[in-house]
Chains A and B, each alone.
Chain A
Amino acid sequence: MADQAEDEDKLETGIAADLGAATFDLARGAWEMYSVFVRTLYYVFRGKREKGATVRQMYEMGNKSLLFVTITMGFIGMILVYQSGLQTKRILPEFSQLGSTYLELLTRDLASSLTALMLATRVGAGIAAELGSMVVTEQVDALRMSAADPIDYLVKPRFLASIVMTACLIIWGGFVAYTAGGAVAYFAYDVAPRTFFSTRLVDHGDVITGLAKALAYGAAIPIVSSYCGLSAHGGSEGVGWATTRAVVNSSLAIILLNFFISVAAFVIFPK
């Protein structure tokens, strides 16, 4: 009995220690990520521009994601309108609100969140893999030896490029999803384009909310992914882990930001 009680004590102590360590790691990670963000902002306003670095990243993130975003958002748009139409048909076989409600939802939330989640997988993974490889092959150390701060030299161009290109891709993704949805509404439910493509439910609050989310996601993806890449260690396995963490944490950041910005938007722009 005494042995069993001792074992249970050890187990409880072990669980408490594990939880404590996990909480400590989480808090340290959050602080370090915040530090990367603050230093990036510092270099955005104070650092020197490397000629062509941001444009190169804009091309990598934006142009090379265009086809991926077009295809995914096109199909997501078609699925959303088809499913919405099915639900609408069961309750009220009348589709005059379908397009305007869908556009409101896209503008306020879905275009930015879904496109950003797509970009978190492609852009976030790319950033973490590239920076992680540079860390484990000592290229980041070589940069520091050359007096080039990795945050200034590597993170800043990705941050600036991501803010611009995420916003552009979100607008494009929203347009593609809306157009594809309109086509499905026409062919599946015989909704006339003039009825579907109506902007009457969208107000300035929706547009501002959507743009705020685009800006926040555009900033979050490179910061979270760069932090994961720069904290990689231990060779190719470490790079793999950094990439996985980048995708998971960027997606998590997008979901959390979506929640908080949505709450703020409902307070500031009540419907």
Chain B
Amino acid sequence: MISFKNIKKSFGSKAVLEGVSFDVKDGEVFFIIGASGVGKSVLIKHLVGLLYPDSGEIWLDGEEISRFDEKAMMPVRMKCAMVFQHSTLFDSMTCAENVALPLRKHKGLSVKDALAEAKKRLKVVHMAEFADRFPPELGDGMRKRVAIARALTLDPRYVLFDEPTTSLDPVSARRVDKLIRELSTNLGVTSIVVSHDLASIFTIADRIVMLYKGHVRLLGTPGEFKSAPDGIIQQFIHGRAQGPMDA
């Protein structure tokens, strides 16, 4: 289980998170929503030590990890994989080499063994035939699938998705949604998804948290969000230009 307790984070004089607290249960597909710049991506980066909170605690499987140094974070990063917003594959490596990198670095596999394992992982996301191609030769959807294969290569218990369907066509986006749902249903993987994609949110989410002005606005199921009387939530989930949310 993951717990964020009263997380505060500022960049210079700009306070982004002003006391965010919530729990994520094991095996659920948990969405973090909110307006652009509200700190959704910032929040999930705290979980894997890419950012550190100014104050507050982060608990992962009964361990407080918010002050772990880079070395102590390594087991956490094996347990919690991350799929970045723009896939962030390394252009100088082939798809197989990209997927093999965490195997070599985290598990110490040889290049040959890591590449063989990487090709198996690419097969799962239907990218085996592109194993020897370089990322710039692929479309956004294909790159995203390779990035997902790379994230899953260490068999993580938690996967953090940062806007996984952004810039994808609707078909590719629904395929990614299906994959996230299957990870939870079939493998018991806990997924934390940062997204603005309303179709994804109300199709595959078990629970949702909405951040607004540095605080949790509502935490609940998709049904609870749909029936919430809060005007700000209704404006956001219906994507209305006019309403009580600040411009």
Contacts and interface: CB of A to CB of B under 8 A. Distances in A.
Interface string A140-156: 01111111110000000
A5 to B, nearest CB: 29
A146 B88 contact: no
Given A51-B111, A139-B90, A145 B77 contact: yes
B61 interface: no
Contacts of A138: 84-86, 88
Contacts, number: 44
Contacts of B43: none
Contacts of A143: 90
B217 interface: no
B50 A144 contact: yes
A141 B88 contact: yes
A139 B86 CA distance: 9
B48 to A, nearest CB: 6
Interface string B40-61: 0000010011100000000000
Contacts of B106: 146-147
B50 A146 contact: no
Number of contact residues on A: which range applies? 10 to 19
Contacts of A141: 45, 50, 82, 84, 88
Contact of A146 (B70, B105, B111): B105
B60 to A, nearest CB: 15
A148 B88 contact: no
A137 interface: yes
B88 A139 contact: yes
A114 to B, nearest CB: 32
B72 interface: no
A144 B90 CA distance: 13
Interface in A130-188: 137-139, 141-149
Contacts of B78: 147
A141 B49 CA distance: 10
Contacts of B150: 146
B102 interface: yes
A142 B77 contact: no
A22 to B, nearest CB: 16
Nearest to A233: B11
B86 A137 contact: yes
B50 A148 contact: no
Nearest to B74: A147
Contacts of A146: 101-102, 105-106, 150
A143 B90 CA distance: 9
Contact of A145 (B81, B85, B86): B81
A141 B83 CA distance: 11
A139 B90 CA distance: 7
A137 B90 CA distance: 11
Nearest to B92: A56
Nearest to B103: A146
Interface string B127-167: 00000000000000000000000100000000000000000
B82 to A, nearest CB: 5
Nearest to A56: B92
Contact of A147 (B45, B84, B88, B102): B102
A166 B86 CA distance: 35
A146 B84 CA distance: 13
A25 to B, nearest CB: 12
Contacts of A142: 82, 84, 88-90
Contacts of B50: 141, 144-145
A213 B24 CA distance: 57
Given A141-B50, A144-B50, A149 B70 contact: yes
A148 to B, nearest CB: 5
A148 B101 CA distance: 8
Given A51-B111, A141-B45, A148 B105 contact: yes
Contacts of A139: 88, 90
Interface of B: 45, 48-50, 70, 74, 77-78, 81-82, 84-86, 88-90, 101-102, 105-106, 111, 150
Interface of A: 51, 137-139, 141-149
Given A139-B90, A141-B82, A142-B88, 17 more contacts: A51-B111, A137-B86, A137-B88, A138-B86, A139-B88, A141-B50, A141-B88, A142-B82, A145-B48, A145-B50, A145-B81, A146-B105, A147-B74, A147-B105, A147-B106, A148-B105, A149-B70
5 contacts: A144-B49, A145-B77, A145-B81, A146-B105, A146-B150
